[in-house]
A = this chain, B = another copy of it.
Amino acid sequence: MRRLSRVIKVGNVSIGGNNPIIVQSMTNTDTRDVAATVRQILALEAAGCEIIRVAVIDTEAAAAIADIKSQINIPLIADIHFDHRLALRSIESGADGLRINPGNMKAERVKEVVTACQERKLPIRIGVNAGSLDHRLLEKYGHLCAEAMVESAMDNIKLLEDMGFNDIKISLKASSVLLTIAAYRLLASKVDYPLHVGITEAGTKDRALIKSAMGIGILLYEGIGDTIRVSLTADPVDEVWAGYEILRSLDLRNRGVELISCPSCGRCQFDLINTAEEVDRRTRHIEQPIKIAVMGCVVNGPGEAREADIGIAGGSGAGLLFKQGQVVRKIPEQDLIDELLKEIYQEVEKGGTGS
């Protein structure tokens, strides 16, 4: 049962309530390099990214937002640390929202930023991060814990609420999966603002996929979370792809290819791993939901993968193409991948593009 949160809008994207869980990412280009940043955002859009965040480290970066915005199609959030002037400048440049840690700014500076957001109806994400928690709170609780993170969030929420501002979403990220889960659960019991969920500093791709899938997955399974970012030390396009994989696994969104493939075992008589990897690589751009199977044996493969829309089962010298568990035809091993892809592209064309 999903936690019922209030709805906020980032540009034309609604977050919270019964809206779909929104997938977002952050550029890793130099924001001042408009061409590189736009190129990356367009690639992210193609992967399904629905909101993009950029780091604003100086006034030049804040100014670049106007140029970037004119060439992209999704809402843009300016990520600001400490300097309220960068927040104001980003708003002028047309940012659709801010991510700040209000505790890092003096109250009168925050007031200026909040007033500017109120005038343009821009939301603010309060981004609490375990690694940069106020020393006062660490001392109060004796160590980093969920209660300290939530107190930091509540202080920041109160600061904005006291200024009459409620266009808020909140994140409480840590690199620890258990700490992150505990913090979000506690906050979810206290406020009804939409929550931006993720694990931060989760590591290199393999590591971060595991931690993010666990942290985001466990929270979403409990109904907590309105928008997600998978943080990877890797190409941000992979973050968006992984976000949809997590959401599909919980039946919350359905975009692109689901690929089923058995672990290669001693029964397998063809190069299953490389075949599956190639099919994966050559179908990642597909937006329409489709379930593809790459199975290791012709005896059990078609039956075991009968839930797949289409698939192949490899064997020694030749394999089988099947649809919904029914064998369509036998194909020589060397043509197996190309024939499968031809059939997949045909299916996708028939179905139009969905998401």
Contact = CB atoms under 8 A, between A and B. Distances in A.
Interface of A: 26-31, 37, 54-57, 61, 79, 129, 131-132, 144, 175-178, 181, 200-207, 209-211, 213-215, 217-218, 221, 231-236, 238-239, 242, 245-246, 249-251, 258-268, 272-273, 276-277, 280, 293-295, 300, 303-307
A262 B233 contact: yes
A73 to B, nearest CB: 20
B233 A201 contact: no
A268 B31 CA distance: 11
Contacts of A213: 209-211, 213-214, 217
Per CB-CB distance, the 4 closest pairs between chain A and chain B, nearest first, are A131-B304, A55-B266, A214-B217, A213-B213
Given A217-B218, A233-B264, 15 more contacts: A37-B266, A131-B303, A132-B303, A175-B307, A178-B249, A202-B261, A204-B261, A206-B238, A207-B245, A207-B259, A209-B213, A214-B250, A218-B218, A233-B273, A236-B263
A260 B201 contact: yes
Contacts of A239: 263
A123 B272 CA distance: 31
27 contacts: A28-B268, A29-B266, A37-B266, A61-B266, A131-B300, A176-B249, A177-B217, A177-B250, A201-B293, A201-B304, A203-B258, A204-B259, A204-B261, A204-B276, A206-B206, A206-B238, A207-B259, A210-B213, A211-B249, A213-B214, A214-B217, A214-B246, A214-B249, A217-B217, A231-B263, A235-B273, A236-B263
Given A280-B203, A303-B131, A267 B217 contact: no
A209 B211 contact: no
